[in-house]
Amino acid sequence: MKGKIFNIQRLSYHDGPGIRTTVFLRGCNLRCAWCHNPESQSPKPQLAYYRSSCTGCGICIEHCEKGAITINDGVIDYDRSKCENCGNCADYCVANARRYENREMTAEALVKLLLKDKAYYDKSGGGVTFSGGEPFLQKEFLIEALQLCRESGLHTAVETALCIPSDSLREAAPYVDLFMFDMKAMDDDAHRKATGASNKQILANIKLLSELGADGLIRIPIVKGLNDSEENLKATAEFLLRETSFTCVEPLKLHTLATSKYDSLGMDDTLSGFESTDDETYTCVCNMLEAYGIHVIINK
Amino acid sequence: MKPETYLKNAELMRDEIIDMLRNKPIESTLVERWQLLDQAGKRYGELPQPLRFGHGLTYVLENCSLPIMPYDMILGRFVDRVPTEEEDAFVRQFHAENRQIVMTDGGHITLDWYKIIAVGIDGYIELATSEYHKRLGNAYGKELLFYEGSILALNAMKNYILRYAKAAEEAGLTEAAANAAAVAGPAPTTFWGALQLIAILEKIYYVYAGSMNPTLTLGRLDDILLDLYTADLEAGRITEDIAGALIDDFYAKNNLILGRGEHQMSGGAPTDTGWWRNNGYDDPTYVVIGGRSNLHKKNPLTKLFASHINPRYENPVIIYRYTSAEEHDSEAWEIICDKLRQNASILVYNDDTMIPGFMSAGVEEKDAIDYTVHGCNWPDIPAKYCTIGGAGGSIARMIIDQLVKLDGTNDKKRDYATLDEIYGAVADAFRTHVKDVFNAVRARVKADEKALPEMTNMTNIFTEGVLENCKTMDHGAVKYPVIYTLLRHIGTAADIMASLETNVFEGDVSLDEMLDAMKNGWQGRERLLKKCLTAPKFGRDDDEADKHAVRLMNMLLDIIDEEAIGEAGVPDVHPFNVTIADMWHVGEGAQLPASPDGRMPGAPLSENLSPTAGTAESITALLNSVSKLPFKRICSGALNVRLSKALVAGDAGAERMRILTETYLERGGMQVQVSVSDTSELRAAQKCPGEYKDLMVRITGYSAVFVDMCESAQNEFIRRDELA
Ligand code: SF4
Ligand code: SF4
Distance from CA of A11 to the nearest CA of B (A): 7
A11-15, A78-82, B459-463 — most confident range? B459-463
Q: CB–CB of B326/B293 below 8 Å? A: no
Determine whether the shortest distance from the Cβ of A267 to ligand 2 is under 6 A.
no
Residues 6-45 of A with CB under 8 A from B: 9-11, 13, 19
Domain layout of chain A by residue ranges: 2-44+102-296, 48-99
pLDDT above 90 coverage of chain B, percent: 81
Spacing, Cα A66 to ligand 2 middle (Å): 7
Helix orientation angle between B113-134 and B142-170, rounded to the nearest 10 degrees: 130
The shortest C-alpha distance from A58 to chain B (Å) reads 11
> Chain-centre distance of CA B279, in angstroms?
16
* For testing contact with chain A, the best of B525, B617, B620 (most A CBs within 10 A): B620
User: Does residue A224 carry a pLDDT above 90?
Assistant: no
In the predicted structure, residue A225 carries a pLDDT above the cut 90: no
Using CA atoms, how far residue B663 sits from A108, A119, B78, B299, B666, in Å, is 24, 7, 44, 23, 5
pLDDT digits (tens, 9 = 90+) for B302-342: 999 999 999 999 999 999 999 999 999 999 999 999 999 99
Cβ–ligand 2 contact at A86 (below 6 Å): yes
Q: What is the pTM of this model?
A: 0.94
**Cα–Cα distance between B267 and B554 in angstroms, integer?**
36
Q: Is the pLDDT of residue A271 over 80?
A: no
User: Residue A76: CB within 6 Å of ligand 2?
Assistant: no
Query: What's the CATH fold of domain A2-44+102-296?
Result: TIM Barrel (3.20.20)
Q: What is the pLDDT of residue A268?
A: 64
Q: Do B530 and A93 touch (CB under 8 A)?
A: yes
pLDDT of residue B275: 53
B660/A120 CB distance under 8 A: yes
Over range A46-57, report the average pLDDT. Answer: 90
pLDDT at A276: 78
Q: What is the model's pLDDT at position A257?
A: 53
CA dihedral (B459, B464, B465, B470) positive or negative:
positive
Of B527, B617, B662, the CB nearest to A91: B527
User: Is the bond preceding residue A133 a cis peptide, omega within 30 degrees?
Assistant: yes
pLDDT in tens, A129-142: 999 889 999 999 99
Burial code of B393-421, b = ≥16 C-beta within 10 A, e = fewer?
bbbbbbbbbbbbeeeeebebeeebeebee
CB contact under 8 A, A116 and B620: yes
- Name residues of chain B where pLDDT drops below 50: none
Stretch A218-236: mean pLDDT? 92
A102 touches ligand 2 (CB under 6 Å): no
CB contact under 8 A, B667 and A119: yes
A123 touches chain B (CB under 8 A): yes
Please work out whether the CB of residue A289 comes within 6 Å of at least one atom of ligand 2.
Answer: no
Pick the residue from chain A with its C-alpha nearest to B619.
A11
Q: Whole-angstrom distance between the N-terminal and C-terminal Cα of chain B? A: 48
- Please tell me the predicted confidence (pLDDT) of residue B708: 82
Mean per-residue pLDDT over chain A, rounded:
91
Average pLDDT on A1-15 reads: 92
Q: Do B652 and A92 lie within an 8 Å CB cutoff?
A: no
d(CA B486, CA B484): 6
Scanning every residue of chain B, which has its alpha carbon at the shortest distance from the alpha carbon of A59? B526
Listed in sequence order, the residues at least 6 apart from B96 whose beta carbon sits closer than 8 Å to its beta carbon are none
Residues in CB range of B597: below 8 A, 6 or more apart: B492, B495, B496, B498, B499, B532, B533, B535, B537, B612
Residue pLDDT, tens place only, A83-104:
999 999 999 999 999 999 878 9
Chain B contact present for A124, CB below 8 A: yes
Preceding omega of B316 cis (within 30 degrees of 0): yes
Tell me, which fold does domain A48-99 have in CATH? Answer: Alpha-Beta Plaits (3.30.70)
Residue A296 CB–ligand 1 contact under 6 Å: no
Q: Does A92 touch chain B if contact means CB atoms closer than 8 Å?
A: yes
Q: Which of A57, A90, A50, A52 is nearest to B523 (CA)?
A: A57
Nearest to A92 among B530, B598, B652 (CB): B530
Residues of B in contact with A9 (CB under 8 A): 618
Q: Is A56 helix (H, G, I), strand (E, B) or coil?
A: coil
A256 lines ligand 2 (CB under 6 A): no
Query: Measured between beta carbons, which residues in chain A are less than 8 angstroms from residue B530?
Result: 91-94
Taking the CA of residue B132 and the nearest CA in chain A, the distance in Å comes to 60
